[in-house]
Amino acid sequence: MLKVHNTLTGKKEVFKPIVEGKVSMYVCGNTVYDFCHIGHARAMISFDIISRFIRHLGYELNYVRNITDVDDKIIKRAAENNETPQSLTERMIEAQREDELRLGNKLPDREPKATEFMQEIIDMVQVLIEKGFAYQGTSGDVYYRATKFEEYGKLNNRKLEDMLAGARIDVEAAKEHPADFVLWKQTKVGEVSWPSPWGEGRPGWHIECSAMSTNCLGNHFDIHGGGPDLKFPHHENEIAQSEAATGEKYVNYWMHCGAVRVNNEKMSKSLGNFFTVRDVLAKFNPEVIRYLMVSSQYRSAIDYSDQSLLEAKVALERLYTALRQQDVAATFVPSDFTTRFEEAMKDDFNTAVAVSVLFELVRELNKMKTEDAEKTSVLAAELLSLATLLGLLYQDPEYFLQNSTVSEGLDEAGIQALIDQRTQSRKDKNFARSDEIRDELASQGIELLDSREGTTWTRS
């Protein structure tokens, strides 16, 4: 029985899809004006794992994640780069997909772009105007009447006036109320725009997701997810727009992943602690980043630092070392390890507990290695099967252990050449030279492991 923490109710609930055997899930994607940062990676990996496990349970999942490809930030950045907004967004979309695939994610079933749904956005705004939930202000922009939606604030469990206190909400003379938010904005000359009943313009951010999600999944669907910073105002506004326009309940289960903090501080460019995925990939194997995200339950905050990545690297190396030079059975009968792993995942996708089960399995595998090759082969197959549900252990063990960090020193060919020299020195009984080579490699972070089968290495 799968249980999901629902942000809307603040409780863990038994998951029951609208249509038996089928699950519809929409996740807010990125505004593609820059490279993905580690906060984006947290959300992408979290919902990738959620989607994997939902499918593992036998559900037919329709996973939709949008792309915001029209926005003030995009227009500003494109102008700074002296390129068109379309050129910028196409480059950033391609970069995002590259990053995501390197992190071991499977792409969503559908990735709609806001610019592909302009007529649907305009139609929804028109419906809201006709129902009295929206109006055109004196500036020409179209606004949503937040005060008309009686349940405004239900996602965050706060009243409208409480949410306004201390919130950064634009106060414009053109608006009837400070909480009203823009649905359609007039554009400046030379900016990208679309024709509408209210003049040339482009959509506000919130209305894009309402139009895309309902058109892709229907007016009422199962799961809506996103990062912690989207609960207010973005998701609150999505509920208000969608339910006012359709007259139906919008979403059954709201899911939000935890924040990523850097050395216990909020990540921001002004603090100089802002890291893109590509920044981190320049130093660590992509799976190390994934393990860091997976080692905590998706709703927990993560503290990012070089130290936390090094700890993730060491933990992941323990898993890979257990598989090193290990035969893996073609099939296995699920044991108590699988049962406890699945129980953890059914409890609101608790990957932290699920990972601990993997390490218990590794301890058993290591204990049996010298006793029963057939049993260890079956345990190795079970380990790989469970790890796959988390998107882990997808690399060759030897390759990972040699490339868990990125070194600017010796490449693989250079390391192997020195190992070959050391092997020959030992055959020649030139142990002084053999020790020199070991020390030279150690100084560059290369640890040698001698066995009957030969010498292997890892980066320390």
Place of tokens 């995200």: 293
Q: How many CA atoms lie within 13 A of 22 on its CB side?
A: 6
Q: 280: helix, coil or strand?
A: helix
Alpha helices in 174-285 (DSSP H): 205-217, 236-246, 277-281
Distance CA 37, CA 140 (A): 35
Distance CA 397, CA 321 (A): 7
SS3 content of the chain, % helix, strand, coil (to 5): 45, 15, 35
Q: Which DSSP string corresponds to 10-33?
A: TEEEE---SBTTEEEEEE---B-S
Place of tokens 């009295």: 132
Binding residues for ATP: 269
Distance CA 397, CA 322 (A): 9
Contact 445, 460 (CB under 8 A): yes
Q: 7: helix, coil or strand?
A: coil
Binding residues: 28, 209, 234, 238, 269
Distance CA 223, CA 259 (A): 19
Contact 59, 17 (CB under 8 A): yes
Binding residues for Zn(2+): 28, 209, 234, 238
Q: How many CA atoms lie within 13 A of 36 on its CB side?
A: 26
- Provide the residue type at 273 as one letter: N
Q: What is the dihedral of CA 382, 388, 393, 394, to 10 degrees?
A: 120
